[in-house]
Structure 1
Amino acid sequence: MHTDASSTPPEGGPRALSAVLGEVLRTGAAVAAAEVARTRALAEAGHLARDVMAERPSSSRAAEMALREVASEIAAAEHVSDRSLQTQINRAMTLVDDYPITLSAWEQGAITRAHVHTILDIGAPLPTEVRAEFDTLAVAAADGLSPGRLRTRLAALAESLQPTTITERHQRGRDTRCVRVITGRDGMSDLIATLPTILAVGIYDRLTQQARTLIDSRGDTPTSATDERTTAQVRADILADLLLTAAPDADPTRADDGPGTLGAIRGRVQVVVPALTMLDPQHENT
């Protein structure tokens, strides 16, 4: 029988792999220890800001400013953004204060950073008074599970610890619905709508169906033959078209023969031109 020489492990192969595996585990433990030490340090920075505010007339804005000042100092030293550092400090304080067992398990190498992030994410909606129980049960549940499988198991666990029903929480959650714009690069921005899930999924599904119908009709007409947009691009274009041109059904002034007051409103965009560009149109090209 012919044997492929390439399938024969090289001399010392298993031993070499064992050595590499050991190195991976050792470096992973060292990284985890360093990350836990940094987490504790960031939490301490947040606690210092909180202690400073305890000596002054307190307000939520003043407390936020104190934390922002501390985050700014550390961010400048690490050459990162203040906002990113402030998020890290808040997350570190939550982990140290509310999830000590999770932090200890991470420090001992029993779980990874991905497990820790999963525990924090799933536990975020829980009231403070049940987080200690969730902390204990979450670490026990993490044994032998990947972060992805752990997320599924913790979702059910967190729901069982909620003092209110999901219906009650959904009613409160509806109050947070909003639309916001986050400016991006190259003249692009993210338009983000926070909506009840059933509405968000329905909107996305309708846009997808419309986009696919439009794409499937390519070639049926001469003008559509050159349309090479992707489904994602068509979906975005249809959304923009609907929002900028359609009339809301909720408009009380809408009639069968007209768009109504809301439908007649058109979007306005304010363009800011730098003064130097106005004085010297060639400035941008120099």
Structure 2
Amino acid sequence: MVILNDDDKHPPESRDSRIGKLAVMVEEISEQYALLAVVQAQVSTMMADLIGHAVANRDLFVASDTDTTKTQEVVRSALTGELAAKMRLSQPMITSMLGTAETLTTELPATLEALGEGVITYQHARTLIDQATGLSTQDRAAFEQVALTLAKTSTPPQFKNKALALRESLHPETSTERHEAAAEDRRVEHWNAPDGMGWLALYAPVEVTQSIFNACHTTAKSLRKTGDERTIGQLTADVFTDAAMLGLTTGIGTGGSGDDSGEGAGVPVFAGRGGAIRPTVHVTVPVMTLLGHSEEPAELDGYGPINPETARRLAAQAPSFTRLLTHPETGAVLSVGRDRYAVPADLRKTIEVRDKTCGFPGCNRSARQCDVDHILAWQDGGETDLENLNPLCRSHHVLKHSSTWQVQRDDDGTIIWTSPLGQKYRIRRSTNVGFEPLDEYDETEPPEPDLEPDLGDEEVENDGFAEDEPNPDDESWFTDTKTDEADATDGKDYPDKPLF
């Protein structure tokens, strides 16, 4: 009897055989990835068709008393909310997808065709759209023809550089004119990162941003030469932080009073890093954590969980922080504190603490930056009390009053939104960190609490209650409706380590 070992039973595969198997796997993955582009092309076509049908049936989306000059804007806003809630995507993302769909179907059909064939990716298509913007019809066609050839043989980053150079040769406006126009959109944005960190980005003329970076980096290198043990990266960040905090103004006039009369009027008052720059921040601290008897995480409004030591330090040392004491078992709010008592600001603060974010499905703009809306309108008998008030960001406040989106409060305090097409969405109050379609909600089981979303919004001062209804004579009500572009994390898919 001959005994065969394992090697005899299963002889090793040849090198060519192993290469062949791996090559097949790579090919299959590549084919599946190409299918993503095909689907994205199909979705773009469907979205463009949807916009056309919605505009043709505008009466389904627009409230009867809405100014007719705003009709198409309201239709698009209401439709964006409908899609965002149904797809569980942010409204800025839906807005971007709709814009891409319209551009591909009406201005760049060859790009849409290439995407539908899977020979370019959605990233290539987005770059091509961005670079084709502003070109004349004739130049755009010429640009698309050459750019598609480049896209089919380049990675998205490579193609972006090539497309930029190609656009420069065709653009009707000079680079100076385009630079001046782009500078009008300068801004600072912030979004959250893991481990209690955050990103701060400045979009400004490159000579400004490069100068700031060079100054910080040069200072960091000088400090290293003096024996500072921090890394260059840490020093660069700290130099920038110190410069920003030391340079920010806290008021106009003398003494930080904001009085612009008399001697010294118009002179900015500066505050040091530990000085008068004191933004209002809500820190919810479990009682036992505050006392040092527990390590249960606290919560920083606009971010999420923070470590107990940081929470104790903020609660003890920062008088401009609102300290919220919670029950160690139920988490119910026990106290908002009385050091900042004012009416109606105190009621507003209670709403901010309770709801945390805008009360529209999927919107995560901080309640601190929202208007306060009467769910049942004042003129219809609604009262100005805690149960009938709901924070709505400006764009969704406008949407409520100008479109056929409807909102009501259930007996248990639940907020129910009904879309123009009849879809219902349930907002859970007291946490208000998510929503779910009512047809998917099981009344027999209480829903699990959602994770707190990122709330990377810019600071907007809003000390009192806004009017319950948008003022049709105030253009700002309708012009400032960018669907919460400042939700920073809400609509922007930033990487963990952005490349500025």
Fold similarity call, TM over 0.5: yes
* Per-residue deviation, 1:127: 5.3
Instruction: Identify the match of residue 268 of structure 2 among 262, 266, 271.
Output: 262
In 2, the alpha carbon distance for the partners of 1:171 and 1:42 equals 33
Instruction: Identify the match of residue 325 of structure 2 among 276, 281, 284.
Output: 281
The alignment status of 1:217 with 2:226, answered yes or no, reads: yes
In 2, the alpha carbon distance for the partners of 1:85 and 1:23 equals 30
In 1, the alpha carbon distance for the partners of 2:328 and 2:234 equals 30
Quick check: 1:247–1:262 contact (8 Å CA) kept in 2? no
Counterpart of 1:182 in 2: which secondary structure?
strand
Identify the residue that residue 235 of structure 2 maps to in structure 1. Answer: 234
* Per-residue deviation, 1:9: 4.1
In 1, the alpha carbon distance for the partners of 2:49 and 2:214 equals 46
Q: TM-score, normalised by structure 1?
A: 0.72
In 1, the alpha carbon distance for the partners of 2:95 and 2:248 equals 42
The alignment status of 1:41 with 2:49, answered yes or no, reads: no
* Per-residue deviation, 1:198: 0.9
In 2, the alpha carbon distance for the partners of 1:142 and 1:264 equals 50
Quick check: 1:212–1:231 contact (8 Å CA) kept in 2? yes
- Number of residues of Structure 1 aligned to a counterpart in Structure 2: 259
Q: Kindly tell me: are residues 64 and 284 of structure 1, through their superposed partners in 2, closer, same or farther at Cα, counting changes over 3 Å?
A: farther
The alignment status of 1:28 with 2:29, answered yes or no, reads: no
Identify the residue that residue 245 of structure 1 maps to in structure 2. Answer: 246
The alignment status of 1:106 with 2:128, answered yes or no, reads: no
Q: 5 Å matches for 1:86-165?
A: 86-126=95-135, 130-165=139-174
The alignment status of 1:202 with 2:220, answered yes or no, reads: no
Quick check: 2:283–2:323 contact (8 Å CA) kept in 1? no
In 1, the alpha carbon distance for the partners of 2:129 and 2:47 equals 16
Alignment RMSD, CA only?
3.7
In 1, the alpha carbon distance for the partners of 2:242 and 2:23 equals 59
Identify the residue that residue 3 of structure 1 maps to in structure 2. Answer: none
Quick check: 2:247–2:270 contact (8 Å CA) kept in 1? no
Q: Kindly tell me: are residues 148 and 160 of structure 1, through their superposed partners in 2, closer, same or farther at Cα, counting changes over 3 Å?
A: same
Quick check: 1:106–1:112 contact (8 Å CA) kept in 2? yes
Q: Kindly tell me: are residues 188 and 45 of structure 1, through their superposed partners in 2, closer, same or farther at Cα, counting changes over 3 Å?
A: farther
Q: Output the amino acid matched with 2:268.
A: L
* Per-residue deviation, 1:269: 1.7
Quick check: 2:84–2:91 contact (8 Å CA) kept in 1? yes
Quick check: 2:100–2:126 contact (8 Å CA) kept in 1? no
Percent of residue pairs bearing the same amino acid type? 24
In 1, the alpha carbon distance for the partners of 2:150 and 2:160 equals 10
Quick check: 1:134–1:158 contact (8 Å CA) kept in 2? yes
In 2, the alpha carbon distance for the partners of 1:199 and 1:209 equals 15
Q: Which moved more, 1:157-166 or 1:169-178?
A: 169-178
The alignment status of 1:80 with 2:89, answered yes or no, reads: yes
Q: Which moved more, 1:83-92 or 1:11-20?
A: 11-20
Q: TM-score, normalised by structure 2?
A: 0.44
Q: Kindly tell me: are residues 125 and 194 of structure 1, through their superposed partners in 2, closer, same or farther at Cα, counting changes over 3 Å?
A: farther
In 1, the alpha carbon distance for the partners of 2:218 and 2:84 equals 45
Counterpart of 2:69 in 1: which secondary structure?
coil
Structure 1's unaligned 5+ residue stretches are 1-7, 219-223, 249-259
In 1, the alpha carbon distance for the partners of 2:270 and 2:147 equals 54
In 1, the alpha carbon distance for the partners of 2:17 and 2:200 equals 57
In 2, the alpha carbon distance for the partners of 1:181 and 1:146 equals 28
Counterpart of 2:68 in 1: which secondary structure?
coil
Kindly indicate which of the two structures has a greater share of residues assigned to helix: 1
Counterpart of 2:202 in 1: which secondary structure?
strand
Quick check: 2:216–2:239 contact (8 Å CA) kept in 1? yes
In 2, the alpha carbon distance for the partners of 1:279 and 1:156 equals 54
* Per-residue deviation, 1:80: 2.2
Q: Kindly tell me: are residues 101 and 268 of structure 1, through their superposed partners in 2, closer, same or farther at Cα, counting changes over 3 Å?
A: same
Quick check: 1:123–1:134 contact (8 Å CA) kept in 2? yes
Q: Kindly tell me: are residues 215 and 135 of structure 1, through their superposed partners in 2, closer, same or farther at Cα, counting changes over 3 Å?
A: same
Instruction: Identify the match of residue 182 of structure 1 among 190, 199, 206.
Output: 190
Q: Which moved more, 1:93-102 or 1:108-117?
A: 108-117
In 1, the alpha carbon distance for the partners of 2:50 and 2:36 equals 21
The alignment status of 1:57 with 2:62, answered yes or no, reads: no
Deviations 1:58-102 (Å, cap 9, x if unpaired)?
Answer: 33xx54442232222222222222232222222222222221101
Quick check: 2:282–2:324 contact (8 Å CA) kept in 1? no
In 1, the alpha carbon distance for the partners of 2:142 and 2:79 equals 31
* Per-residue deviation, 1:132: 3.0
Q: Kindly tell me: are residues 9 and 215 of structure 1, through their superposed partners in 2, closer, same or farther at Cα, counting changes over 3 Å?
A: farther
* Per-residue deviation, 1:159: 0.9
